[in-house]
Amino acid sequence: MEVTYLEAIHQALEEEMHRDERVFLLGEDIGVYGGAFKVTQGLLETFGPRRVIDTPMCEIAIVGSAIGSAMMGMRPVAEIQFADFMACAFDQIVNVAGTSFYRWRAAVPIVIRAPSGGGVRAGPFHSQNPEAWFCHAPGLRVVVPATAYDAKGLLKSAIRDPNPVIFLENKYLYRRIKEDIPTDDYVVPFGQAAVRRKGSDLSLLAYGAMVHEALAAAEVLEQEGIDAEVLDLRTLVPLDEETVLASARKTGKVVITHEASRTAGFGAELAALIAERAFDYLDGPVLRVTAPDTPVPYSPPLEDFFRPDAAKIAEAARRLAAY
């Protein structure tokens, strides 16, 4: 059945709520309104107000409530209306949820869903990509699906996982991509990257919306005689290090792309991993194609200039191929 990225997420929530009565949803406007992007539309009518809870506009309270209920045996899925506002709940996410099992063996099986990324002309307060914040915080899993199949399968895995999971949904993809996905129950395991396109000349590493830009760049490069491999990381924590290293060792040249700003972005961690464990196989420097170190512009032409895209990835790949 062909569904959008958004509908795949909706299906995962609905199916998991039917499967496990401990699963409930909480967040701003997710009930009566159906969510800012309509991901949760209809779930209030199906499951009632005790399992689809409209909350006050207070992210630290949303996450704190989710943590407390998880410690009491529930499986909360908290929606942060835009990923930017996770900063308001940073203390609860990083200092409480992320450390509780280490400190006193208290499992915190929560999922924090958050629409991230730009390309929708939403300006600097509604377009950020905060994944690196949470990759740096021990105890959290960080998931960034790029396809409808993965969005559903990874969200199901996240809800069933005993650890706190940051689940970043790229809002640009919500209604732009469709895919046939199984009608039967399935999950996508954490820590398994996907090779979306095999190649031999260089590797393009990406996640989220940038996977599609990397694939588009690879198509252009193929016409120029450059055979690019495209790797979709799927989960950043845990990271499939072996697949990343295997691709780097095979091609000897690596371009990393992410939509987040450059300095201390997750691409730097990937570059360090490759430098430490695959240096002898490299035939050129590891390159990064990222957003610059500025807030996300509201102006459409400026945002287009700001965001990485297939043309920018292809240009970096050409320079590396010629190195």
- Residues with catalytic roles: 126
242 by DSSP, 3-state: which?
Answer: helix
* CB of 244 closer than 8 Å to CB of 231: yes
* CB of 48 closer than 8 Å to CB of 92: no
- Which residue matches tokens 């790797």? 231
DSSP code at position 92: I
DSSP code string of 235-291: EEES--HHHHHHHHHHHS-EEEEEEEESTT-HHHHHHHHHHHHSGGG-SSPPEEEEE
Phi, psi of 179 (to 5 degrees): -160, 145
**13 CB-near residues (< 8 Å, 6+ apart):** 25, 39, 40, 43, 77, 155
Separation of alpha carbons 209 and 207, rounded Å: 6
* CB of 211 closer than 8 Å to CB of 180: no
30 by DSSP, 3-state: which?
Answer: coil
For residue 137, give both structure tokens.
């915080």
Which residues pair with residue 54 across a beta bridge?
27
DSSP code string of 148-163: HHHHHHHHHHHHH-SS
CA-based angle 306:312:318, to the nearest 5?
160
Of 161, 225, 228, which is closest to residue 191 (Cα–Cα)? Answer: 161
